[in-house]
């Protein structure tokens, strides 16, 4: 059946920024579709830096197909190593990277500040999704005069290709640690988190000492492209999952295909505290059969008992489905503050008992099958 329609004007969005959101538009006049159509070819002139539009004949795609165009990445040699890159740089001999950008990624009503920080490592500190970098803040360790500060670990929030898709950067998701005096209620700068404040205050061009990469617990298993991955996070614990999801849904990696289910549970205080929400909403729109996204907003939502909605309450809400997926081999991941785990464990234990199962036995089996992945701090 021939498609015959005419558009007097079409807007083409140019994605920019870490979330791929559209910031600028180009308008193309008089586009007509019959059995074939032409699609605009955008060309950037390196001399004039002006954007021109040419036309070419292509087979007409559905809107759904068009919305799923993925980003090419390089170098593909990053797919080759059989062994996980580990501890290429250690605290005594760290690598000096360069800050590319620091961007606040929470709204004005979020309690506290969280920043997305891009670091240029020039391809010298390769990593895999789910690993961490260590950061050594400048200055002297107050507990060890003359010695540098201790290393602080941060989960990497990008794929191995980085936000620029060229394998030369890594991104961190950092919440600024601020201390408030319990008596006065005022901020005490002398007790502020040394590393988080250094990173959140950094400017493009600043140098940063990094170690690693480290960690194998949160690596994304890729042997089964149809696997189910249940990802549970509080706050900045969403960092490794952003890397997973960009690899699954944003990047065009020839030897990596994902046709399973990725299910993200994210717990934060309120809507302004949501991290990378536009990216995740985009995946939900483009890949509804492969991605699910549930949020727990503790200061805006109530659980079934009338209390605050925490991530464990969302897990309980979908517990039957989650347990069935686990029984069928799903991987489950937990990342965030240590305080999240007791409540989650209690919820899972209660649900298991309601199902007539022993949670201890089930947990042992999940660990034995390498389905259980936990990284808390």
Whose structure tokens read 């949020």? 295
pTM of the model: 0.81
Measured between alpha carbons, how far is 353 from 37 in angstroms, rounded to an integer?
59
Whose structure tokens read 């808390």? 376
236 assigned ligand-binding residue: yes
155 assigned ligand-binding residue: yes
36 assigned ligand-binding residue: no
What burial letters (b/e) apply to 263-299, b meaning 16+ CB within 10 Å? bbbbbbbbbbbbbbbebbebbeeebeebbbbebbbbe
Active site residues: 154-155, 335, 375, 377
Helix axes 359-368, 340-354, angle to 10 degrees: 110
Q: What tokens does 212 get? A: 């690693």
What is the chain's pLDDT, residue by residue, as a tens digit (377 residues)? 333 333 334 343 444 444 444 433 333 333 333 333 333 333 333 333 333 333 333 333 333 444 468 999 999 999 998 899 999 999 999 999 999 999 999 999 999 999 999 999 999 999 999 999 999 999 999 889 899 999 999 999 999 999 999 999 999 999 999 877 777 777 777 778 999 999 999 999 999 999 999 999 999 999 999 999 999 999 999 999 999 999 999 999 999 999 999 999 999 999 999 999 999 999 999 999 999 999 999 999 999 999 999 999 999 999 999 999 999 999 999 999 999 999 999 999 999 999 999 999 999 999 999 999 999 98
- Are 359 and 326 spatial neighbours (Cβ–Cβ below 8 Å)? no
160 assigned ligand-binding residue: no
Query: CB burial class (10 A; 0-12, 13-18, 19+) of residue 35?
Result: exposed
What is the 3-class SS of 211-270, one letter each residue?
Answer: EEEECCCCCCCCCCCCCEEEEEEEHHHHHHHHHHHHHHHHEECCCCCCCCEEEEEEEECC
Kindly list the distances between the CA atom of residue 246 and the CA atoms of 21, 72, 159, 268, 369, in Å, as whole numbers in the listed order.
Answer: 14, 12, 7, 21, 26
Sheet containing 169-175: give its strands across. Answer: 152-155, 132-136, 207-214, 95-104, 114-120, 169-175
Measured between alpha carbons, how far is 281 from 293 in angstroms, rounded to an integer?
8
């Amino acid at each position: 059946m021939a498609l015959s329609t005419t558009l007097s004007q079409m807007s083409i969005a140019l994605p920019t920024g870490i979330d791929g959101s559209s910031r600028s538009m180009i308008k193309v006049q008089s586009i007509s579709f019959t059995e074939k159509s032409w699609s605009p070819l955008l060309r950037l002139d390196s001399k004039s830096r002006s954007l021109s539009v040419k036309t070419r004949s292509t087979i007409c795609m559905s809107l759904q197909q068009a919305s799923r165009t993925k980003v090419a990445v390089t170098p593909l040699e990053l797919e080759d190593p059989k062994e996980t890159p580990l501890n290429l740089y250690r605290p005594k001999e760290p690598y000096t990277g360069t800050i590319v950008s620091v961007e606040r990624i929470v709204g004005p009503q979020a309690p506290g500040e969280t920043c997305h920080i891009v670091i240029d490592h020039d391809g010298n500190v390769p990593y895999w999704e789910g690993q961490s970098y260590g950061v050594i803040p400048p200055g002297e360790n107050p507990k060890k005069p003359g010695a540098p500060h201790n290393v602080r670990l941060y989960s990497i929030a990008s794929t191995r290709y980085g936000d620029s898709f060229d394998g030369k950067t890594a991104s961190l998701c950092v919440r600024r640690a601020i201390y408030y005096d319990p008596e006065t209620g005022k901020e005490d700068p002398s007790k502020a988190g040394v590393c988080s404040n250094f990173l959140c205050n950094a400017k493009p061009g600043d140098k940063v000492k990094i170690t690693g990469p480290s960690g194998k617990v949160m690596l994304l298993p890729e042997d089964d492209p149809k696997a189910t991955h249940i990802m549970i996070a509080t706050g900045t614990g969403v960092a490794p999952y952003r890397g997973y999801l960009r690899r699954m849904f944003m990047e065009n990696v020839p030897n990596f295909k994902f046709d399973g289910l990725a299910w993200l549970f994210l717990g934060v205080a309120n809507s302004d505290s949501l991290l990378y929400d536009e990216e995740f909403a985009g995946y939900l729109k483009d890949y509804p059969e492969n991605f699910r996204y549930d949020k727990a907003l503790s200061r805006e939502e109530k659980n079934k008992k009338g209390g605050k909605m925490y991530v464990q309450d969302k897990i309980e809400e979908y517990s039957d489905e989650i347990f069935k997926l686990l029984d069928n081999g799903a991987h489950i991941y937990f990342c965030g503050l240590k305080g999240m785990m007791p409540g989650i464990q209690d919820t899972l234990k209660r649900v298991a008992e309601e199902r007539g199962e022993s949670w201890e036995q089930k947990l042992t089996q999940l660990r034995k099958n390498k389905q259980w992945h936990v990284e808390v701090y």
